[in-house]
Structure 1
Amino acid sequence: MEAFVVKSPMLPQDHQTAVQRALALGRSGDPAVLPALIGMLPLPSNEVQRLSVSAIGKLAEFGADADMAVAALAPLAMKARHPQTQQYAIRALGKYGAAAAVHLADLRDVARNPAQRDYVRAAAATMADAIEQVSADAAAGVKHRCQRCDAPVSVDEFGRAQQTFQRTYCDRCFDEVFLERRNFEMQVELNKTIEARDGTVVQSRGERLIAEWLTAHGLSYRYDAKFRIIGEFQIRPDFYLPEVDVYIEYWGMDTPQYKMSMYKKQTLYQQEGKRLISVYPADLPRLDALLAAKLGFVGFTGRHQ
């Protein structure tokens, strides 16, 4: 997937203000902000439009006016200034379920259109299937389905899974996921064998060098913060710098499975408008210059302790 390059005719300050507003409205969980987000869609910035579309999708679970949201999203789901915005509009449309069923035929057309980007076509096909399933569930009186096995989920199961994982699981899958998470956490802790100068125990030499650079430059950080919520997902970032609201990930492995996970995580950061600095093993010899330059973009001028 190509990078979402920020090219906006808006003044930099206006653009950044609009970006932060779209993010804040999306995080609010308040369905009353839907008209404000819709009002941001015509702004001449691909990034603002993308983030606004994503935010509208997030409001679906909080009871936002489905008809209003679908009416705003549908045109962008069929055609947008940037293909990634179209992809996100399609995904957001899918979150409104049966209310978007009127656009099923249009989504199928997008999915079959060879002129569309592959990821746009894939999103359209996936969301069309999801909307069709939700519509069938609504007709049958089924309100929730397990995201893992697709079984119907009771109200009690839904509440338990949402409270613990912010996901929809049946009881059987809940227990499986809980065990998988516990085993994963245990393995991560066992892998922490390298101590940085400030006492933080990390998993690799690369992480140690990053931790020591941050400490040397007076930047506080949270290492391996457990399952931080970003968007709808739980992630475990290597480093989070609250002072500058930046995430640092050290991508230290080279296996196909690891790379797939890396790409998914990088895409999630991008979709949610998070500031991510990626560090790879080849970057370690020039780590000082890399971190100084990347953090300089977010206003960190550098201080050495």
Structure 2
Amino acid sequence: MKSPMLPSEHQAAVQRALHLGRSGNPAALPELIELSRLPSNEVQRLAASAIGKLADFGADVGMAVAALAPLALHGRHPQTQQYAIRALKKFGAAAQTHVPDLRDAARNPGNPNYVRAAAKTAADAIELAAQDAGAGVKHRCKRCNVTVSAEEYARANEVFQRVFCDRCFDEVFLERRNFETQVEINKTIEARDGTLVQSEGERRIAEWLTAHGLAYRYDAKYRIIGEFQIRPDFYLPEVDLYIEYWGLDTPQYKMSMYKKQTLYQQEGKRLVSVYPKDLPVLDHLLTSKFRLFGVSL
């Protein structure tokens, strides 16, 4: 859906939706609902995502579910539906009346696969949340789905901003530590400014940034994107822009890449993706992308 809004109005609405989504303020819900009704797929998508983020901050569940359901089930753009479905899932048992419609959406061959998958996942999660509510269960581990105590919830949320039982917390902590250790071991290639990177592609990007006087942080430790933690290849704090070099071609790597790209998009982050095929024209690619984002070189 192409937005009929004026470019300045559209951009202001996009930034407002992003800001309210990050605020954690349940009082932002009415304004987000109004934003979700604007005639722009991007604004609707970001507003729906932002409403979902308020689920953990005491937002009015009735208002939120009533606003999200039409977008989730009848949104004019599949991506809007997908984001609204994901947001609806976060309100758990309060969205129980919409489970039959979500099941229908999951079975509808006319919907894109990602909408069908999101609808099935949401329906399953909402039904489980309704069962948990009846049994007095408040939290479940995101990894193994067991019931989580208040102490386990507090510990995991403080460290990972996600819910884990103690066993999974320890496993994730070790996996994260081992990953960080391996990343440091792999940093064997030195750029001209002394930064150690993991590949020739990253070296060339680092040296291009240095040549253009652009300050960057390489492999910055776990910047928060939405409710997830990521580790971007390059972050340019002065222009708030990210660069990722997607240097591998394995199925597992591609799955991680697609998930990471989705997180950037969902949060409205400015991302430049670079692939091995781009290296022969790296200067042209980065120059054109930076100009597109309004970055002066």
Q: Same fold (TM over 0.5)?
A: yes
Structure 2 counterparts to residues 277-292 of structure 1, below 5 A? 277-292=272-287
TM-score for both structures, normalised by structure 2: 0.98
Offset at 1:35? 0.3
Q: Is the 8 A contact 1:142 1:152 kept in 2?
A: yes
Structure 2 counterparts to residues 139-218 of structure 1, below 5 A? 139-218=134-213
TM-score for both structures, normalised by structure 1: 0.96
Task: Find the aligned partners of 2:178 and 2:249 in 1 and give their Cα distance.
Answer: 23
2:247 corresponding residue in structure 1: 252
**Same amino acid, percent of matched pairs:** 75
1:132 corresponding residue in structure 2: 127
Letter in 1 for 2:283: D
Offset at 1:138? 0.7
1:261 counterpart = 2:252: no
* Matched position secondary structure for 1:136: helix
Give the 3 Å change call, closer, same or farther, for CA 95–113 of structure 1 in structure 2: same
Task: Find the aligned partners of 1:86 and 1:187 in 2 and give their Cα distance.
Answer: 39
1:63 corresponding residue in structure 2: 58
Residue in structure 2 matching 1:112, options 107, 116, 120: 107
1:239 corresponding residue in structure 2: 234
1:200-225 CA deviation, whole Å, 9 max, x = no partner? 11111110110111111111111101
1:229 counterpart = 2:224: yes
Residue in structure 1 matching 2:84, options 71, 83, 89: 89
* Matched position secondary structure for 2:239: coil
Offset at 1:44? 1.4
Letter in 1 for 2:275: Y
Letter in 2 for 1:156: E
1:238-280 CA deviation, whole Å, 9 max, x = no partner? 0011122111000111112111111111121112211111101
Runs of 4+ in 1 over 2 A off after TM superposition: none
* Matched position secondary structure for 1:27: helix
1:28 counterpart = 2:46: no
1:134-182 CA deviation, whole Å, 9 max, x = no partner? 1101100110000111110000000000000001000011001000000
Task: Find the aligned partners of 1:281 and 1:170 in 2 and give their Cα distance.
Answer: 40
Q: Is the 8 A contact 1:244 1:298 kept in 2?
A: no
Aligned residues: 297
Letter in 1 for 2:131: A
Offset at 1:75? 0.8
Offset at 1:285? 1.3
1:3 corresponding residue in structure 2: none
Residue in structure 2 matching 1:101, options 96, 104, 121: 96
1:44-102 CA deviation, whole Å, 9 max, x = no partner? 11100100000000000111110110000011111112111001111100100011011
Task: Find the aligned partners of 1:247 and 1:93 in 2 and give their Cα distance.
Answer: 29
Letter in 2 for 1:301: S
Task: Find the aligned partners of 1:215 and 1:134 in 2 and give their Cα distance.
Answer: 50
Letter in 2 for 1:181: R
Gaps of at least 5 residues in structure 2 are: none
